[in-house]
Homo-oligomer: A and B are copies of this chain.
Amino acid sequence: MYKVKIYVTLKNSVIDPQGSAAKQTLETMGYKEIEELRIGKYIEITIDESVKNVDEMVNEFCHKLLVNPVVENYRYEIEAGVKQ
């Protein structure tokens, strides 16, 4: 099986309200050393080994559903030969 790990992050130009709120909360707890905090999505997908072009499939998943290209970037890693 293939194990795919996708990291979806907001583009730098995009405001991250969730990340800002978490940063602010940690600062009120006394953590003043945080320069920046951004929250994105981490997606793990297990794909059957019969698939010939996993790269192509993963990019289609991202373009069709998992990533909003207007505000998000993504990168991914593919691990082959994974036991279930």
Contacts and interface: CB of A to CB of B under 8 A. Distances in A.
Copies in the complex: 2
Chain A interface category by residue count: 35 or more
A13 interface: no
B84 A22 contact: no
B66 A22 contact: yes
Contacts of A43: 19, 22, 37-40
A61 B34 CA distance: 11
Interface in A28-69: 29, 31, 33-48, 50-51, 57, 60-61, 64-66
Tell which of A7, A34, A45, A48 has the most Cβ of chain B within 10 Å: A45
Interface of A: 1, 7-9, 19, 22, 25-26, 29, 31, 33-48, 50-51, 57, 60-61, 64-66, 84
